[in-house]
Amino acid sequence: MPQSLSKVLIHIIFSTKNRTPFLKDPAFRERLNGYMVGTLDNLRCPSLQVGAVEDHIHILCHLSRTMSVAELVEEIKKSSSKWVKAEMPSLHDFYWQSGYGVFSVSPSAVDEVVAYIVNQEEHHRKRTFQEEFRLFLQRHGIEYDERYVWD
DSSP 8-state symbol, 141: T
Residues 43/32, Cβ–Cβ less than 8 Å: no
Percent of all residues in the chain with a pLDDT value above 90, rounded to a whole number: 75
First to last CA, the chain: 45
pLDDT digits (tens, 9 = 90+) for 72-130: 999 999 999 999 999 999 999 999 999 999 999 999 999 999 999 999 888 778 888 88
Residue 149 has pLDDT above 90, yes or no: no
* φ, ψ (nearest 5 deg) of residue 144: -150, 160
Give the mean pLDDT of the chain.
93
Q: Which residues contact 43 (CB under 8 A, 6 or more apart)?
A: 64, 67, 72, 75, 76
Q: Residue 94: its pLDDT value, please?
A: 97
